[in-house]
A and B are shown apart, each in its own frame.
Chain A
Amino acid sequence: MNSSPNRLVAAHIWVAFIAFAVAAVMGAWQMLVRSPIDAPLETAETYFVSVTGHGALMAYVLPTLFVMGFGYYVAMTALKQPLPGLRWAWAGFYIAAIGIVMAVVTVLSGQATVLYTFYPPLTGSVFFYLGVLLVVVGSWIWVAVMITAMMKWKRANPGAAVPLAMFATVANAILWLWTTAGVGAELLFQVLPASLGWTDSIDAGLARTLFSWTLHAIVYFWLMPAYIAFYTILPKVAGGRLYSDTMGRVSFILFLLYSLPVGMHHLFMDPEHGSGFKFLQMMLTALVTVPTLLTIFTIGASLEIAARLRGGKGLFGWVRALPWDRPMVLAAGFSFIMLGFGGFGGLINMSYAMNSMIHNTSWVTAHFHLIFGGSVVIMYFAIAYHIWPKLTGREARSLTPIRVQLWLWFVGIVITSFPWHILGLFGQPRRVSSFDFANPEIAYWGPWTTVSAIGGFIMLAGAALFVWNLATLYRGAAADRTMSYAMAVHQPREVPRVLNGFGLWNTLVAVLMIVAYAWPIAQFFFLDTYPAPVQRVDVGG
């Protein structure tokens, strides 16, 4: 592998984590603004500028660029072939980079305080939406490169099983293509025309429906690198083998199937849809428990194999025998704990009835910070730590700062998000810049928000130490640059064709999407609708 493809991977991951570091500062400051402690520059306007920036950077830039960079790396190392279309990949990177700068500058200048979820009829400067769209266009090039790489490998290795890491990466690429269709349509046909002044009204119901198409699947897109690490890196680092390759393939396929026709569980309280579709999509949402439980079983079994090979004994005593000093193992342990708590919280969110208790409260923000910021991002850290020696050619001088960083992040997210959940149960609304804690009705929220804000600053310390580690730690002994993935207990040479490609699964996704979304979207075109007048936030813009 020459150095240019490595630079491609590193460039993506650096941009992802620089965006992450900037957004982490914003996040900690926002926690302070919502607490009884005075924050510098505290106004409602700066708060919503910050929330929009934090959301766009954390939700669009960090995961998209990380997934792209990691995907390019997997395509080269798992398939052991040069990356097809390297120039295209760089073009995608630069398109996304231009988009990021465009969107960030627009948000910071106060011209697009519409939050990362856009919320039409709120309408900001067109450069924010174009910036986000460019990031998506850049990522579509990545999708094309991933699919091309897999097809090329299959032609060169007829009948052979696509390595699980690559199979999962392509599953995520296809998932992403489906995912972006919803928000892409919303931006192209509704938001951009309004932002350009071509239309004076926008159908918020249709916009919310299209965004819901994207809003849940995007979460699984963020999550997939963590699962790829669980299945294909963690068992090897722990000193064992993957319990079942087939289980991995089935899980990734189920994620593709049941991440898409489920977004309406974000619209349980919306008036524009009937109860039938809400119930249907709730049931499909519940099916994500299947790949989740498959994964918990498979990874649990894989780790048990590793632990018993290391002399672990007892029904659960083997857990102690795992090499917890290795960052990947430590991070995965933390990730599982957070996934457990976050998953149970998620069951409440996706339940048509229980959702009404916590809808639009802090519970929801706490939930996605615990799941994404916690269990997913800690695996992004672990992946970066794992591949950095292979990219830079140098081992870390010490693992201690890495362990400290993972602990900081884990402790920080728990201290931030647990009280935050409780505040949601108290009824604290989300998307609110400040609270009057002098009011006796809500004065008791004060201590909880303060603890949560302290957690935010522990996370910020963890974020800063992470960037510091990545930038300065990898100057130790020369490293082996070969990336190898976990072998399965029964490593397949061949698998059934349906588990080696996506033809059948794409068809099923299409059928499920038609069932779940055809009527909810079509109704807007043949029932009388009353679009809302556009509300510009970029006054004079």
Chain B
Amino acid sequence: MSNGESPRPSDQDAVNRRWRLWASTGAGAIVVVAIVIGFFVISSRGEGGVTGALGLDHVHETPEAVAQTAAGALPTDVAWTAATLGLLEDADPEAGRAIAVQTCASCHGEAGIAVAAAFPNLAGQPATAIFKQLSDYASGHRVSPMMAAMAQGLTAAQMADLAVHFAAETPAESIVDANPPAAIVQLVVNGDPARGLPPCSACHSARGGPVGTPPLGGQPAAYLEQQLTAFAAGERGNDIYGLMRAVAGMLTPAEIAQLAAYYGN
């Protein structure tokens, strides 16, 4: 269309037809090229194929789906949906106490303070953290013959009752190391960007971290060291995204021991 050359009215229909044709063809051609490249050329080089290009294989990242892509195995059945959180909201701590006295007290103590350093303190842990671990023991995502036997005998509602019961107990006092090694404080507060290590405190904080994350202060140091070592070796694998396995795998055994001492009693 040359600039400003107004067509006579009799030409209008022909001019309009040309515009409609070329505008639609142009827009259509661009879309076709984009679809061919986006859905076929690129996807044929990746792992996802056409379903990946459509978003079918990584859409709606459930913990299950995430786990399968991130770590190759299912880490947990627990998803923090409104239903799961509602279960905890409606749980009954008194019913939980009754179960705790019968089943949990011999190792974890009646008030949630463990009787030996191999067992974690449950008092004051977030209900979400306790609930997730119980569910994972029952489903086998966290492996422990002893805990599996205990947890498999519980319904989801009973696990929730136990979780809110222990959450309400007074946590063990955290014995703070007066002079922690500077490198360990650095790991806790800032991580180590050179290794791609996030700071521990980003999630494990007394102020609370992501849902289901336990604070670490006041746990037995031996228990913490044992768990970090298990994550590093891949023996424990109920962490979403494989995050703890990745982090612990990058720590040296000495760092694991020092971190356990830093947080633990």
Report A's interface with B, CB cutoff 8 A: 159, 161, 200-201, 205, 244-247, 257, 271-280, 283-284, 287, 439, 441, 488-499, 504-505, 508, 511-512, 515, 519-520, 523, 527-531, 533-534
Contacts and interface: CB of A to CB of B under 8 A. Distances in A.
A496 B12 contact: yes
13 contacts: A200-B86, A201-B81, A205-B60, A271-B61, A274-B54, A275-B42, A278-B38, A492-B6, A496-B16, A504-B19, A515-B31, A530-B60, A534-B82
B146 interface: no
A508 B55 contact: no
B59 A493 contact: no
Interface stretch (B45-53, B107-115, B157-165, B255-263): B45-53
A275 B59 contact: no
Contact of B52 (A200, A275, A284, A531): A275
A279 B16 contact: no
Nearest to A298: B3
Contacts of B43: 275-276
Nearest to A278: B38
Given A279-B37, A490-B3, A272 B55 contact: yes
B55 A523 contact: yes
Interface in B8-29: 9, 12, 15-16, 19-20, 23-24, 27
A504 B34 CA distance: 22
B23 A508 contact: yes
B1 A496 contact: yes
Given A274-B52, A274-B53, A275-B43, A504 B1 contact: no
Contact of A277 (B20, B38, B62): B38
B79 interface: yes
A527 B33 CA distance: 28
B60 A280 contact: no
Contact of A497 (B1, B16, B61): B16
A498 B56 contact: no
Contacts of A280: 31, 34-35, 38-39
Contacts of B58: 271, 274
A93 B42 CA distance: 49
A496 B19 contact: yes
B54 A276 contact: yes
A287 B34 CA distance: 12
Contacts of B9: 159, 494
B182 interface: no
Contact of A201 (B24, B55, B82): B82
A508 B3 contact: no
A504 B4 CA distance: 21
A496 B82 contact: no
A276 B24 contact: no
B150 to A, nearest CB: 28
B30 interface: yes
B15 to A, nearest CB: 5
A263 B9 CA distance: 39
Given A490-B3, A533-B85, A279 B34 contact: yes
B contact face: mostly helix, strand, loop, or mixed: helix
A200 B54 CA distance: 29
Interface of B: 1, 3-7, 9, 12, 15-16, 19-20, 23-24, 27, 30-31, 33-35, 37-39, 42-43, 46, 48, 50-62, 79-82, 85-86, 190, 193
**Could you say which of A274, A490, A493 has the most chain B C-beta atoms within 10 Å of its C-beta?**
A274
Contact of A528 (B16, B57, B60): B60
Contacts of A283: 30, 33-34, 37-38
A512 B56 CA distance: 21
Given A246-B1, A276-B54, A284-B34, A441 B81 contact: no
B38 A279 contact: yes
A455 to B, nearest CB: 28
A100 to B, nearest CB: 33
Nearest to B3: A244
Given A496-B12, A496-B16, A273 B59 contact: yes
Nearest to B1: A246
B4 A492 contact: yes
A375 to B, nearest CB: 26
B60 A498 contact: no
Nearest to A496: B15
Contacts of A246: 1, 3-4
Nearest to A277: B55
B91 to A, nearest CB: 16
Given A490-B5, A494-B7, A515-B31, 8 more contacts: A161-B6, A271-B58, A272-B55, A492-B4, A497-B15, A528-B60, A530-B60, A533-B80
A488 B6 CA distance: 13
A508 B46 contact: no
A274 B80 CA distance: 24
Nearest to A283: B34
Nearest to A159: B9
Given A498-B16, A508-B23, A533-B85, A275 B46 contact: yes
Contact of A276 (B3, B15, B19, B38): B38
